[in-house]
Structure 1
Amino acid sequence: MMTDKVRIDTLGANSLNQNNETYLARQAEFESNVRSYPRKLPFAIAKALGVWITDVENNQYLDCLAGAGTLALGHNHPDILQSIQNVITSGLPLHTLDLTTPLKDKFSDYLLSILPGQGKEYCLQFTGPSGADAVEAALKLAKKYTGRTSVISFSGGYHGMTHGALAVTGNLSPKEAVNGMMPEVQFMPYPHLYRCPLGIGGDAGVKALTYYFENLINDVESGVRKPAAVILEAVQGEGGVNPAPVEWLQRIRKVTQEHGILLIIDEVQAGFGRTGKLFAFEHAGIEPDIIVMSKAVGGGLPLAVLGIKKQFDAWEPGHHTGTFRGNQLAMATGLTTLQHLKDNNIPEKVAAQGEWLKGKLAEMQKRYPVLGNVRGLGLMLGIEIVKPNEAPDHMGSYPADGALSALLQKKCFENGLILERGGRHGAVLRLLPSLLITNAELEIFLDKFENALLCAGIKPL
C-alpha cells in the first residue's frame, strides 16, 4: 500500500502544474548552474515511447538524441521493461558490488562473445556507472601495466568530465577553470576530411597525419616520452562526428603494438551498432588493447565496462573499485539490448539507413548550401553548418556558423525535433536516434529538419 500511495502522490504532484515553464523554473531553483540540456531543450518530459517524447503540455517530439546514444532500442521498449520486471520479481538484489549472480554471469558471457575473436583474449572489468569512470580505470591500468606515465590523446576527442578523462578531452571550455590537470597528456591532430588540421585535405592530409604520428613515436628528439597509452574514438562524437580514416587507424594500431603502447578505444557513444557495426573500430579491422564501453551497454540504465586483453590485466584485487559496478537492473537491460541488436541484425539495418539518410541530406545540401558537410557512419551522423556567402579556405571549406547551428537547433525543437550540437564552435548538428528508428520516421525527420531551415529564414536555391 505504501508503494501505491507514493506512486499516486507523485503523479498527483505532477498533475498540479502541467506547464513546461513552471517545471523549468523549479528546476532552476533546485539544480546547479551546471545543468545543460534544459537550456537548449526547454521542456519537461511526461512520457516517451520508441522515438517519440511527450512533454507535460502534451507536445510531441521526434527524439534524435536518444539519451546521447544511450537508448539504442529507444524509449521504453517492451523487452527492456520486461527485463526490468523480471529482475524485480526474481528476488535478486539490485546491488551486488562485484559479487556475481546468474544474471551477471549470463551478461558477461554474452558481452564477451561479441568482442573481437568472440572475446577469447579479453576479460571484463566492471567500473563505476559512467563512461568517464571506465576511462579513468583504463588510463590507470595502462600506467600500471607499462610503468609509464604519459598518454597521447587527440584534438576533438571527448572522454568525459572527471579529472583524468577531462585531461584527455580536447574541448578547452570545461578545462578553463580547472588548474592542475593530469600531467603528461600529449594531444595530436585527429584527421578531419572537411577541415584537415594540417591544411592539406583529402588523402594527402590523412597520409601526412599517419606519418606524423609514427614519426613522433619513433623520433628520439620528439620531446615526447613513450606513452603508456593512446586513447581515441574511432568516430569522434562530441567533437563533431568525425570518423577515423581506416588507413590512419590501422597504422596507429601497428605502431602502438610495435612499441608496447596500449591502445584504448573509447566506444562509449559509437559502440553497439551505432555506426553500422557492433563496434566502430571494426570498420578498420583492428583489435584494441582496452575497449571502453558504456551508454548502450546498459540498455538505458547506468553501466560501464572495460574489455581488457588478458595479458594487460595487471590489476591486483581491490586496486580499482566502484560501488555501483554491480547494477543488476542494468545488466538485465544491457543483455536484452545486446541480444536484440545481434539477433535482429540491427547493425546491418543501421548501416543501410545511414547511407540512405546521408544521400537524402546530400540532396538537401544542394538546395541549402548552409549544410556545409554531411558526415558520419550508420545512425551517428553530423551536419556541419557553414557560412556559404563568405570566402572558403584554400581547401574549399566555408567558415563554420555556430550561431546559425544554435538557431537551427532551436527551430528544430519548435518543430518537434530534438537534435544535439557538437564540434568546434558548436556548428555541427548531430543525429543519434534509436537504432530501431524506421525509414518512415526518418522521412519525418527530413520534413521537420527542412521546415526548421525555412523557419530560420533560410531560403532554398
Structure 2
Amino acid sequence: MMTDKVRIDTLSASSLPQSNDTFLARQAEFESNVRSYPRKLPLAIAKAQGVWITDVENNQYLDCLAGAGTLALGHNHPDVLQSIQSVISSGLPLHTLDLTTPLKDEFSSYLISLLPGQGKEYCLQFTGPSGADAVEAALKLAKKVTGRSSIISFSGGYHGMTHGALSVTGNLSPKEAVSNMMPEVQFMPYPNQYRCPLGIGGDAGVKALTYYFDNLINDVESGVRKPAAVILEAVQGEGGVNPAPAEWLQRIRKVTQDHGILLIIDEVQAGFARTGKLFAFEHAGIEPDIIVMSKAVGGGLPLAVLGIKKQFDAWAPGHHTGTFRGNQLAMATGLTTLKHLKDNAIADKVAAQGEWLKGKLAELQKRYPVIGHVRGLGLMIGIEIVKPNEAQDHMGCYPADGELSALLQKKCFESGLILERGGRHGCVLRLLPSLLITDAELEIFLDKFENALLATGMEPV
C-alpha cells in the first residue's frame, strides 16, 4: 500500500530578519487582538536560562515574571529538562486521559503528601490543564455537595477567564459586553494594607472586615442566601499583591465550617513556596476544603489539580472531564519541581529573601516617594505607584498613578528588566521571579529598577 508524500514547506524562523519588530508585526498579523503581554513587553524570545531571557536581537533581560509564576525553578532548569527527556525515552504515552501510569502514581503520591496533614484527608482531581478549569470544577463540586447555588467571592480576586471563573473574578474590564454571567455571585471587600476598602485602615479595618463577613453569614436579614462556597486567594496576585491578614482568614474558615460552606482557596499563583510557605493559606494555619493548584505544580508545563477533602468528593464518574488531564510530561516536570522545592528548603530561602527585598525597597521608597507602598510575602511582592504631590486621603494614602506605573514598566523593560503590573488602575508593579533567584540577581533587580525610576525623569529626595 502506497501513500502520497506531501511536501510541506515551512518558514523557518531563522530565515526571517532577526528583529523584535519583525516578529511582533507577524504576531499581530497571525493572532487575535486578545494578545496582551507583547503589547507591554515587546520582544521575541530566542532563548532563556534561569532568570535570564535573551531576545532575537541578543538583548538580555532579568525575568521577574517567570510565566506569571509558573516557572518556579526558572527557565530550562537542567533537572526539569532531564525529566522531560526521561519521559520521551521511556515509552510512556504523552497523554493518558485519567488512566494511571507509574509516573502519575508517583506524582500523585508526592503531591498529596504536601497537602495539610500530609494529605490524609484529601484526594486529588486532575482537571483540564488550566487554573481556570480547576476553578470551574471546584465551583461545580461545591454546588453539588451543598445543593446550594450561590458563591461568595472578593473584590480584587482573580480566578480565570472561563465563564464561571470570570464570574467570580473582581476585575470588571473583561466582563464588559459579556452578558449572563454566572448568577448569584456575591462580592465582598478584601483587606488591603494600603487602601482599606472600608476607609478605616490598620488593625481596626481588618477587625471591621472580619466582623462584616461574620455578620453577613449570620444575619437572617442580610439579603444574601447561604452560599455553596466561598472562594478567595490567600494572597491576591492580579489584584495588586494583597496578603490576607491571618485573623481575617481564620475567621472566614471558622464561619464557613460552622455553616457547612465549602472554603475554596485558589493557590494557582501563590502556591508551592512562592510566599515563603508551601501554600499561602499556611500563613494563617487553616485547612481549606478545596485547594486549587496550577502554574508551578506542572513545573512549567500545563497541569491543574484540585486537592479535595475526601468527605466532599461527591462527583459521579465522568461528571467533570478534560482530554489533557493526563499530561505525563507535566507530571514529570511537576514532580521534579516539587521535590526540588522541598528537598532544598526553597520556601525558607524565599521567605528570607522576601523580607530582605522588602527592606531594600522600603529604603528606595524613602528616596522615591512615588513608591506609595511595598507589600507581599516571599517572592510575591507588589510595589504600588502613587502621586505624592497630590493630597492624601484621610488614611494617609496618595492617589494611585497607573500612568506612571505603565511608564515604569516600559523603562524597566528598556533597562533589561521584565515586570508585570496589576491592582486597581494597573498601579502595582509585581515581582514573580524564579524561586531560585540569587541574592546577587536581586541586587541586579534593584539596580535596574532604580535606573528605571531615574529614566522617568524623577530625582531622588
What TM-score comes out, normalization by structure 1 length? Answer: 0.98
Structure 1 residues 145-174: Cα deviation after superposition (integer angstroms, max 9, x where no partner):
000000000000000000000000000000
In 2, Cα distance between equivalents of 1:424 and 1:87:
43
In 2, Cα distance between equivalents of 1:317 and 1:458:
61
CA drift at 1:136: 0.1
Q: How many aligned residue pairs are there?
A: 453
The AA in structure 2 aligned to 1:65 is L
The 5-angstrom pairing of residues 73-112 of structure 1 reads 73-112=73-112
The AA in structure 1 aligned to 2:420 is E
Are residue 296 (structure 1) and residue 293 (structure 2) matched? no
The 5-angstrom pairing of residues 413-428 of structure 1 reads 413-428=413-428
Q: Percent identity?
A: 90
The AA in structure 2 aligned to 1:209 is L
The AA in structure 1 aligned to 2:307 is G
CA drift at 1:177: 1.4
C-alpha change, 1:435 and 1:11, in structure 2 (3 Å) is farther
In the other structure, the counterpart of 2:57 is 57
The AA in structure 1 aligned to 2:61 is Y
Are residue 258 (structure 1) and residue 263 (structure 2) matched? no
Structure 1 residues 102-132: Cα deviation after superposition (integer angstroms, max 9, x where no partner):
0000000000000000000000000000000
The AA in structure 2 aligned to 1:97 is L
C-alpha change, 1:34 and 1:370, in structure 2 (3 Å) is same
In 2, Cα distance between equivalents of 1:31 and 1:390:
41
In 2, Cα distance between equivalents of 1:442 and 1:449:
10
In 1, Cα distance between equivalents of 2:349 and 2:15:
40
**Which of 406-415 and 11-20 deviates more?**
11-20
Describe the SS at the equivalent of 1:457. coil
In the other structure, the counterpart of 1:322 is 322
CA drift at 1:379: 0.1
In 1, Cα distance between equivalents of 2:372 and 2:322:
44
Are residue 45 (structure 1) and residue 19 (structure 2) matched? no
CA drift at 1:138: 0.1
In 2, Cα distance between equivalents of 1:90 and 1:114:
27
CA drift at 1:15: 4.3
In 2, Cα distance between equivalents of 1:11 and 1:123:
47
In 1, Cα distance between equivalents of 2:235 and 2:16:
44
In the other structure, the counterpart of 1:230 is 230
**Structure 1, unaligned runs of 5 or more:** 1-8
In the other structure, the counterpart of 2:280 is 280
In the other structure, the counterpart of 2:138 is 138
CA drift at 1:14: 2.6
In the other structure, the counterpart of 1:115 is 115
Describe the SS at the equivalent of 2:324. coil
In 2, Cα distance between equivalents of 1:136 and 1:458:
45
Describe the SS at the equivalent of 2:323. coil
- Following TM superposition, the consecutive aligned residue runs of length 4 or more in structure 1 with deviations greater than 6 angstroms are none
The AA in structure 2 aligned to 1:145 is V
In the other structure, the counterpart of 1:190 is 190
Describe the SS at the equivalent of 2:306. strand
In 2, Cα distance between equivalents of 1:15 and 1:23:
12
In the other structure, the counterpart of 1:3 is none
The AA in structure 2 aligned to 1:92 is L
Describe the SS at the equivalent of 2:325. coil
Q: CA RMSD in A?
A: 0.8
CA drift at 1:17: 1.5
CA drift at 1:12: 4.4
In 2, Cα distance between equivalents of 1:431 and 1:87:
32
The AA in structure 1 aligned to 2:303 is L
The 5-angstrom pairing of residues 323-362 of structure 1 reads 323-362=323-362
Are residue 152 (structure 1) and residue 160 (structure 2) matched? no
Structure 1 residues 255-290: Cα deviation after superposition (integer angstroms, max 9, x where no partner):
000000000000000000000000000000000000
In the other structure, the counterpart of 2:218 is 218
Describe the SS at the equivalent of 1:123. strand
CA drift at 1:13: 3.0
Structure 1 residues 335-387: Cα deviation after superposition (integer angstroms, max 9, x where no partner):
00000000000000000000000000000000000000000000000000000
C-alpha change, 1:106 and 1:218, in structure 2 (3 Å) is same
In 1, Cα distance between equivalents of 2:118 and 2:456:
49
C-alpha change, 1:31 and 1:11, in structure 2 (3 Å) is closer
The AA in structure 1 aligned to 2:248 is W
In the other structure, the counterpart of 1:450 is 450
In 2, Cα distance between equivalents of 1:144 and 1:457:
56
C-alpha change, 1:320 and 1:12, in structure 2 (3 Å) is closer
CA drift at 1:193: 1.2
